[in-house]
Amino acid sequence: MSDIIDFDQVVREIEDEVAARRASGDFPADLERQLDLVFARFAPAAASGDDLDAVLAAADRASFVDVDVPTGSNIPGVAPLKRGLRKLMEWYLRYLAQQVSELATSWAAALKLLAGRVKALEAAGGATDPAGDDSRHRADPAAVSPFESRIAEALAGTEGRVLVGECGDGALVRLLVGEGLDAYGVDPDPARAQSAVAAGSEVRAGDALEHLRGVAEARLGGLVLCACVDRLALAFQVELAGLAAATLADGGRVVVVSTSPGAWARASDVVTTDLSPGRPLHAATWRALLERRGFVELADHDGPPLVTLQAVPPGEGAEVLNANLAHIEEALFGPASYVVTGVRRR
């Protein structure tokens, strides 16, 4: 019998058991969300990785190497022995500790300078991390109702977990579960996530991009992206396409639901438009980003028009006028939203 442990096999067995127990109802829908909250509360700053200032402060504290080791002991005669050893070795240890502390302090200072410059660049470019953007709680998910049947069709037969980010009230998650898919959702608004859980959906409160950063490679069978794709800065939209390619298994399906750029600009007030860190991309841009990352069978479909012009009643010349109105409607307004679908090939 081999002593080598197949960790991938262990992970797969754990995931299969979790999926089986989740399906049987052993795990409440919000259990994983509660575990995430507990971990975020008690884990050290360096473990969460999302608080740069806290991590830098921890690096500062750890940069000093203390050679004054404790000498106490409950065993008779051991404490004096420890004190003697400490006194004998103190000159040697202090010499090493001084050099190590100087190196660690220099690295911590360099990290602080680098962090300051990164923050300055993000502020200048508007590319703030979505995890720190409060506007994410005010943004409603893109309307997916016109595309529900198309999304379900694109994901039909998908094996493995299907992530919906951002899922809003969880309606799409429930629809996909009803189609026999192992679907769950992520939404940045804790109140919306809690409402979705109360409605019977498996939904976690959190940022979709941040969640995808923590998903293991090729672990998802399907991925639906909406809302976040409308407001993320360009750098994060490109990263999102890369994460879709990384987290989807071979044959995995991706669905991007987005607002058309023209419709987004007309539907939002000018202040929101001007101050937004990002704006929606065109469908052709999403196809190009996904194609460069190994996606095939790419297709896009327009949703209903943003504005519908009233047709001219039947009569002389009405057919020509209505055709011209259709062209004007398409040129001035266009569709309100679109969906892009594709298949991951490795």
Cβ pair 306, 143 in contact under 8 A: no
Average pLDDT, the chain: 80
Q: Strand, helix or coil at 43?
A: coil
CB atoms within 10 A of CB 166: 29
- Put the strands of the sheet holding 182-187 in their side by side order: 203-205, 182-187, 161-165, 220-226, 248-259, 337-344, 295-302
Over residues 141-151, the pLDDT tens digits come to 447 778 999 99
Residue where a domain terminates, one of 125, 158, 193: 125
In the chain, how many domains are there? 2
Q: What is the DSSP string of 303-315?
A: -SBS--PPPPPSS
Positive or negative CA dihedral for 123, 127, 133, 136? positive
Are 143 and 90 in a shared domain?
A: no
Are 82 and 54 in a shared domain?
A: yes
User: What is the Cα–Cα distance from 29 to 199, expressed in whole angstroms?
Assistant: 10
Over residues 189-242, the pLDDT tens digits come to 888 888 889 988 899 998 999 999 999 999 999 999 998 898 888 889 999 999
Q: What's the pLDDT score for residue 81?
A: 85
CATH number, position 247: 3.40.50.150
Model confidence at 71, pLDDT cuts 50, 70, 90, reads: confident
User: What is the Cα–Cα distance from 163 to 202, expressed in whole angstroms?
Assistant: 10
Task: Read off the tokens for 285.
Answer: 């841009």
Q: How far is CA 328 from CA 261, 282, 331, 333, in A?
A: 17, 20, 5, 8
Cβ pair 321, 273 in contact under 8 A: no
Identify the residue with better confidence: 105 or 224. 224
Amino acid at 157: G
User: Looking at the domain assignment, is residue 1 inside a domain?
Assistant: no
Cβ pair 209, 232 in contact under 8 A: yes
Segment 288-297 mean pLDDT:
96
Are 227 and 324 in a shared domain?
A: yes
Positive or negative CA dihedral for 85, 88, 89, 90? positive
**Residue 307 belongs to domain spanning:** 135-344
Segment 171-196 mean pLDDT:
92
Q: What's the pLDDT score for residue 309?
A: 56
Residue where a domain terminates, one of 95, 125, 155: 125
Predicted TM-score of the model (pTM): 0.64
Largest Cα separation within the chain, whole Å, is 113
Q: What's the pLDDT score for residue 51?
A: 64
Residue where a domain terminates, one of 98, 125, 152: 125
Are 88 and 164 in a shared domain?
A: no
User: What is the Cα–Cα distance from 164 to 135, expressed in whole angstroms?
Assistant: 20
Which residue, among 295, 307, 301, has the nearest Cα to 254 in the 3D structure?
295
Task: Read off the tokens for 288.
Answer: 């190009």
User: Looking at the domain assignment, is residue 23 inside a domain?
Assistant: no
Q: How far is CA 19 from CA 93, 171, 268, 275, 292, in A?
A: 52, 21, 41, 42, 32
Are 180 and 306 in a shared domain?
A: yes
Q: Strand, helix or coil at 103?
A: helix
